[in-house]
Structure 1
Amino acid sequence: MDRIITIGTRGSDLALWQANHIKDKLAKINIKTELKIIKTQGDNILNLRLDKLEGKGFFTKELEEHLLEKSIDLAVHSHKDLPTVNPPGLIIAAVSERENPSEIILILKDCVDSSKKLSVKHNGTVGTSSNRRQSQLLAVRPDLEFENLRGNVNTRIQKLRDENYDAIIMARAGMSRLKLDLSEFYIEEIEPTAELVPAPSQGVLAIQIREEDKELFDILQLINDADVAEQIAVERKVLNLFDGGCHMPLGCYCKKDEESVFHVWTTKSIDQDEFPDRLYITSKTTEDLAEKILSKFDIANRKLPKKVFISRELSEHSYFRRSLDKHEIEVEARSLIRTVPTIHKIDPYIFKHVDWIFFSSKNGIEYFFSLMPLLSKEIKFGVVGRGSEEALRQLGRTVSFVGESSDTQEIAEEFAAIANGQTILFPSAKDSLRTIQNGLSAETKIIDLTIYETILEENVNESFADVLVFTSPSNVDAYFADNLLSPGQQIVAIGKSTGKKFEEMGVDYILPASPDEIGLAEVVFGIDVN
């Protein structure tokens, strides 16, 4: 191609980085380019929340007009800012690789409370202009206050520096791309499958051109990331089917695993103050996947469970209970086991050379710290599940590793990658499965410390709930010692070790994406009953 391609971009540091990133990619395939900076409505109006701006595409409309007028040949957008339908005559010709779509919370260091989920102090003020972020954060931290936050990345950070807020929420992608020094703040990263599901196509750049420009379209296929395009197409179609713009409290994240199975997390609420519904589903194909997701949120035309049993006690403020209360689903919460300590004293010498202490359950944490151990500040903590992480937070302990998968073997592999060759103490139950220990290398020193044992309750009463949630293999054993499944009852098992019990029984079960209350809320919301 002999012509010089004119790239249209907004003028912020992040927009310029994005445009230059595409410019560099094109230079590698010998395409000459130049940049043209264009101001948008979103750049000019900074005193309103994003959801108060008129229409959709307020960060993109002017760029698109310049494309149609042929004063530029190509526009680079943050894909999440784009409306789901292109103006007539324009197409998305290519997308970039996906930067980590996680969110980060930047917190003033004197406003940090590590005992709280997300580490923001009680009643802290958080800056965000996103209804999606506010809705999801309120669900896990109802005490937080929210204030509008607008401006480019540096402007937002300066507002935090000026103490207009105690914390602000940003997309991790922007921080990574600009390589900003954020050492003056405490940083909490939230994975895209955890408390904050990202915006559709977050972390991806969109390259928009005129539909008639076939020559440029063909060239752009050389830098198009087809795998990313396939995954975000699901997210974008979900957004389109909900007829939502950037201001809709909607999060959607699609990830394809090594076996080409699509995993999709979706969250939606009516407004920023409503407790959101969350859904997790998997599919071997993207065909009709977005439509299936949409149908699950159509509460008026589907039948949710009337009653859910769970084999553990739930506080009235628990995330899972509130997700059920929203839809007037009755909760039957009772543990079918009890635990007792096996030791009442601990030798301080055992901690002398320990690098890590790893907990597989909240029970292990409770019994271990009841022994009042004297621990070095250098000892790191690892846990299975965000529930255990929160239990350690409440004890003022920082967690260095959180295994978030429902497959303990996967967690073992992830933990081994950072802990092999070190000395690890495992406070655990008598006759525990030792899955994590078995995944470590022979050079790793393992110290097993049995601190409690599990006793099954006898004569357990049957539950007639539509959905039965089992939280451990022991609870399965206790329940089915005296009971059978009733017709139509559906099973949810936390963790593959619990699920294995049902495999041995020849019973189908559902496995949450994560072994915690958010994971439970996601799968139960997706269950239809007859």
Structure 2
Amino acid sequence: MPSQPPANPGQVRIGARGSKLSLAQAGHMQRRIAAALGADPADPAAVEAVAPLTVITTTGDRVQDRRLLEIGGKGLFTKEIEEALIEGRIDCAIHSMKDVPAELPPGLCIAAIPEREDPRDAFLSRGPLTLEDLSQGAKLGTASLRRQAQSLYRRPDLDVQMLRGNVDTRLAKLAAGEADAILLAYAGLRRLGLGDLPKSLIDPKEAPPAPGQGALAIETREADRDLPWVAGLRCETTTLCVTAERGALVALEGSCKTPIGAHAWLEGGSIQLIVEALSPGGSARFRHAGDTEISQLSDPLRSARDLGFSLGQAIKDEAGDTIVL
């Protein structure tokens, strides 16, 4: 379907999910995009005039009683928004990077990755301070196969319960006693002003978070990749780290049926990366770590992607079907 140009050529129409967290993230980027277009980011009317926000409900939002792997995978958080982008009803989409599948629809691209929030997982409970402090057989709530597998690797006695819903819903279920503890992305809690709630944070080198966790993805049509407002949103360090992590995701054919964690950081002139994949029940864990020099390279993004892909491929060769649900 041909693109529909915005009524005002100076506009950038934004699409995002309607959850409280998505709106907080989208609102932050909406103000940055408006500022890049010359509007006052402190003036809500001016922001909405140049960067109007459209809320799009996705299948992942509508279906809350089953794991994503049962209804089609994490792409269900992006599908309807990407359709609006392809059809020209919006000009960019704002996603949590960890919700973006390894492969994008033809004609679309991740045009910008802004500076990342804290990528760690957060441990929340009604008392205990860490996963190790939970009582024998305690109920741990999560909808993430990765968090399930990593937790059972450390505590095989735990009773892991499927717990989906937005942040408020999960916190309410914890308070109601449906779980003794839950795991959430610390970045999301911080963006919602709830950064004081976790009892502790998970070491990302011991239990790597989802590839891209804590980062946002600004998705556009390929033709819009290098527009001036896009370039101003990019964070080079975050982009390199996320590119390395997603390289592993591609190699492992990452989906909601494969528990994959990846954590990259810059150290001196090198990208350091840890990748792990586990059996869904947590009985087996496969880890590889590596680094690559970036300071003298002509294409650091390719080097980052190749590092991630090579570590992911090493795990795939070693683990085979052990890591697939």
Instruction: Flag whether TM exceeds 0.5 (same fold).
Output: yes
Q: Indicate whether 1:50 and 2:68 are aligned.
A: yes
Query: Identity over aligned residues, as a percent?
Result: 35
Structure 2 residue 56 is the aligned partner of structure 1 residue 60: no
Distance (Å, rounded) in 2 between the aligned partners of 1:139 and 1:218: 46
Structure 2 counterpart of 1:208, which letter? E
Q: Give the whole-Å Cα distance in 2 for the aligned partners of 1:177 and 1:59.
A: 19
Change (3 A) 1:55 1:106: closer
Task: Give a deviation string over 1:316-343, Cα, whole Å, max 9, x none.
Answer: xxxxxxxxxx9xxxxxxxxxxxxxxxxx
What is the deviation of 1:122?
2.3
1:236 aligns with 2:246: yes
Q: CA deviation at 1:234?
A: 1.0
Distance in 1, matches of 2:234 and 2:171, equals 32
The aligned counterpart of 2:259 is 249
With over 3 angstroms needed to count, the CA separation of the structure-2 counterparts of 1:300 and 1:14, relative to structure 1, is closer
Please state how far the C-alpha of 1:231 moved relative to its aligned partner.
1.4
| 8 Å CA contact 2:273, 2:308 repeated in 1 | no
Is residue 249–residue 312 contact of structure 2 (8 Å, CA) maintained in 1?
A: no
User: Which residue is equivalent to 2:33?
Assistant: 26
1:189 is aligned to: 201
Deviation at residue 247 of structure 1 after TM alignment: 4.0
Larger Rg over CA atoms: 1
Higher relative contact order (CA 8 A, sep 6+): 2
Q: Alignment partner for residue 106 of structure 1, among 116, 121, 124? A: 124
Instruction: Show CA shifts across 1:352-395 (max 9, x none).
Output: xxxxxxxxxxxxxxxxxxxxxxxxxxxxxxxxxxxxxxxxxxxx
Q: Is the 8 A contact 1:130 1:247 kept in 2?
A: no
The Cα of 1:117 is off from its aligned counterpart by 5.1
The correspondence for 1:162, drawn from 170, 176, 183, is 176
The match for 2:278 is 269
Q: Secondary structure at the match of 1:5?
A: coil
Question: CA contact under 8 A between 1:132 and 1:272: conserved in structure 2?
Answer: no
Give, in angstroms, the shift of residue 182 of structure 1. Answer: 5.5
Q: Are 2:92 and 1:74 aligned? A: yes
**Displacement, 1:200?**
0.3
> Shift of the alpha carbon at 1:253?
0.9
User: Contact between 1:132 and 1:247, CA under 8 Å: does it hold in 2?
Assistant: no
Mapped pair 1:3 → 2:10: yes
Contact residue 123 and residue 131 of structure 2 kept, 8 A: no
- Using the TM superposition, give the Cα deviation of residue 98 of structure 1 relative to its aligned residue in structure 2, in angstroms: 0.7
Unaligned runs of 5+ in 2: 1-7, 40-49, 295-302
Tell me the distance in 2 between the aligned counterparts of 1:107 and 1:17.
Answer: 24
Maintained 8 Å contact 2:108/2:219? yes
3-state SS, counterpart of residue 58 of structure 1: helix
Sort the Cα spacing of 1:181 and 1:281 in 2 relative to 1 into closer, same or farther, 3 A. Answer: closer
The CA RMSD measured in Å over matched residues stands at 2.2
TM-score normalised over the length of structure 2:
0.84
Q: Which residue of structure 1 lines up, in the alignment, with residue 290 of structure 2? A: 281
The number of equivalent residue pairs is 293
CA contact (8 A) 1:9 1:36 kept: yes
User: Could you tell me how far 1:27 is from its partner in structure 2?
Assistant: 2.5
Cα-to-partner distance string for 1:3-29 (whole Å, 9 max, x where unaligned): 221110100010001111111112322
1:38 paired with 2:56, answer yes
- CA shift for structure 1 position 88: 0.8
Question: Which secondary structure state, in structure 2, belongs to the residue aligned with residue 57 of structure 1?
Answer: helix
| Residue pairs, 1:323-342, within 5 angstroms | none
Shift of 1:269: 1.9
How far the C-alpha of 1:50 sits from its partner, in A, is: 2.1
Contact 2:16–2:23 under 8 Å retained in 1: yes
For residues 204 and 221 of structure 1, the distance between their equivalents in structure 2, rounded to whole angstroms, comes to 16
1:172 aligns with 2:179: no
Cα separation, partners in 2 of 1:28 and 1:240, compared to 1, 3 Å: same
Note if contact 1:249-1:272 (Cα within 8 Å) is conserved in structure 2: no
Task: Note if contact 1:134-1:273 (Cα within 8 Å) is conserved in structure 2.
Answer: yes
Work out whether residues 235 and 253 of structure 1, in 8 Å CA contact, stay in contact via their aligned partners in 2: yes
State the distance in 2 between where 1:128 and 1:260 align: 37
The answer on 1:299 being equivalent to 2:318 is yes
Distance apart, 1:63 and its partner CA: 0.2
Q: Give 1:230 shift.
A: 1.3
CA–CA separation in structure 2 for the residues paired with 1:180 and 1:158: 14
Question: Stretches of 4+ moved more than 6 A in 1?
Answer: none
Q: Paired residue for 1:202, among 191, 200, 213?
A: 213
Q: Distance in 2 between matches of 1:40 and 1:135?
A: 27
Query: C-alpha displacement at 1:242, in angstroms?
Result: 1.1
- CA separation of 1:181/1:273 partners in 2, compared to 1, >3 Å: closer, same or farther? closer
Q: Unaligned regions of 5+ residues in structure 1, if any?
A: 302-325, 327-530
Cα distance in 2 between the residues matched to 1:44 and 1:300: 34
User: Kindly tell me: are residues 67 and 291 of structure 1, through their superposed partners in 2, closer, same or farther at Cα, counting changes over 3 Å?
Assistant: closer
1:313-462 superposed matches below 5 A: none
SS of corresponding position for 2:53 = strand
The one of 202, 212, 228 aligned to 2:223: 212
> How far has the Cα of 1:132 moved from its partner?
0.6
Equivalents in 1 of 2:247, 2:219: separation in Å? 18
CA contact (8 A) 2:113 2:216 kept: yes
